[in-house]
Amino acid sequence: MVKRIFILLVFGSLFLLIKPNIASAQVGDQALRFGIKVPYSYDIGYYQRFSNRIGMHASTQFITIPFASAPIGYMNLFGADPNITAILAEPFTFGAGLDVGFHYYFGSDNRRYYGALSVQWMNLLKRDIDDEVINNAFDLNFNSPGVVTLGPKSKSQSTKPLTINTNYVNLGFIFGKIVPIPNSIHELRLELAVNKTIFSHHNLQSDYRIFTPISELTNESLQETMRKYGWFPTFNVYYIFKLPN
């Protein structure tokens, strides 16, 4: 399903990416940018153009419905073990991060095309993982004798029976085009992007159980999975709201 949505959006946008327009971007432009990376995240941030060829952005990004399952869907599509990726399956208690990128503009009409390189940090907090998910991932009995010891709280007092906190960093490769809005100083940006996970860390924990070996195994397995299969292609749409210079 994720693959079909992405393919439809990509081909549906190619006409706009190729169709010539006269861009309205000027050197010194500063702007707020509001966007969506389909099917991945929502973005709110800042944009600055320093010269005819160089610009940058810095934004916050959020993963929520209907995209919360997209990263898992992509990794499974590319060959990851669904029993391992199920550990990160939605719903998230929290999913947000930062995105910083640098743009290089080219082409005629005031450099309306650009390539960009971005670095994205994301944090995902998922609570109330079912013990059976861990059992299926590693073919073990999570609560067998010797596997866990009691933690600082009793089970009846527990507010975090099984939680995973994930941090990961993506490197993004972007091709974009400026699309002017008629009779406006503002503009749209259309982008095709591929984001690759280059680092991740996963902390499985509970407030009434201690299970360090399983937590380490979970971290190592998810790190390997995201290193191999953490490719997230997206189609990005941004509204650029220019600020007074």
pLDDT in tens, 20-63: 444 445 555 899 999 999 998 999 999 999 988 999 999 999 98
Question: What are the tokens at 113?
Answer: 């095309």
Q: Are 192 and 37 in contact (CB under 8 A)?
A: no
**For position 36, what pLDDT does the model report?**
96
**192 half-sphere exposure, CB direction, 13 A CA radius:** 15
Q: Rounded CA gap, 7 and 28, in Å?
A: 35
Would you state the pLDDT for residue 64? 84
pTM of the predicted protein model:
0.83
Is 216's pLDDT higher than 80?
Answer: yes
Domains in the chain, start-ordered, CATH in brackets? Answer: 2-243 (2.40.160)
Kindly calculate the radius of gyration of the chain based on its CA atoms and give it in whole angstroms.
Answer: 21
Q: Report pLDDT digits (tens) over 104-121.
A: 999 876 678 999 999 999
pLDDT > 50? residue 6 = no
The predicted structure's pLDDT at residue 109: 64
The per-type count for the chain, helices as H runs and strands as E runs, is 6, 10
54 or 3: which leads in pLDDT:
54
- As given in the structure block, the two tokens for residue 212 are 């360090």
**Percentage above 70 pLDDT, the chain:** 83
Rounded to a whole number, what is the largest CA-CA distance in the chain? Answer: 71
